[in-house]
Homo-oligomer: A and B are copies of this chain.
């Protein structure tokens, strides 16, 4: 750390409603009325107080009672991590849509820990958020109980469940994995590997792929477990490990595009022909899947749309309306590119 011309002190104390009242020569009740029920104040007084509010930079407390029916206009979102482009897109969608209606986003990261999720849910309820967005459909019993007791709208995302806590928008990870397994078998690959984390969504993708392979008489796929939220380097290391472990492997399906891209870059580095020597497939259709050499076959899902839809569901409920489709399956599709 380098010390430069340090500012002399902390900022002055906050400008309060009382400061505005004093400057405008009115009571603080009048200031409150101008903010909350301006129609009950004479136009002259209103204009005068408003000009002091503006020139002094006073911003009314949105959390205080009487404003916006005690709502905080804050929504909390809990994601495994935002350092992973996939969830970042969902958060961006949420934030975009909510901000249009004057709602702000509290963000929590679990690092894929259920215990961390439980703690975050309690912290957010304690801050009286108007609604909560969760990732996935597996939660601790305590989280479920707390959410029920809080009585606020909840949207689960990124998976499907017949019994959501409240609302849900996502896609079926098992079916998506199965579709990729079917596709790879149809392309003629038999000896395959799955590379992914041990989070519920990664495991569901593997189970789906495995079911597709076994149903069509292909051999049991190799399952390489990597740390959750793995990136390029993990993909690079895993493809080396895989080729050493099982030299006759024909195709590898990675639980995310970033890992698959790392594998593609490593194959390029080592002169391993893709897809001739080994086919590679990813998940999510991130930008890197299109841009890497060769371009990656992947499972397209709607990360950004998940965020937008979750926000719309919450806004509908905040508005006192019923959400017509509280279980929204956005689906997935297989995008075939050069890597398979």
| With A11-B154, A92-B109 as contacts: A1 and B265 at CB distance below 8 Å | no
| B107, B126, B167: the one within 8 Å of A62 (CB) | B126
Contact with B along A65-91 (1 / 0, CB 8 A): 000000011101000011101001101
| B11, B95, B166: the one within 8 Å of A11 (CB) | B166
A147 at interface, CB cutoff 8 A: yes
Residues from 88 to 144 in A contacting B, C-beta threshold 8 Å: 88-89, 91-92, 95-96, 99, 102, 104-109, 120, 122-128
Q: What is the interface of chain A, defined by CB distance below 8 A to chain B?
A: 1-7, 10-15, 56-63, 72-74, 76, 81-83, 85, 88-89, 91-92, 95-96, 99, 102, 104-109, 120, 122-128, 145-154, 162-167, 231-233, 236, 262, 265, 268-269, 287-288, 290-293, 317, 322, 325-331
Task: Say yes or no: B287 contacts A231, CB within 8 Å.
Answer: yes
For the complex of A and B, the 6 pairs showing the least CB-CB separation, nearest first, are A57-B149, A14-B151, A62-B126, A232-B291, A15-B149, A2-B329
Task: Say yes or no: A106 contacts B107, CB within 8 Å.
Answer: yes
Task: Say yes or no: A293 contacts B317, CB within 8 Å.
Answer: no
| With A102-B123, A153-B11, A166-B11 as contacts: A6 and B57 at CB distance below 8 Å | no
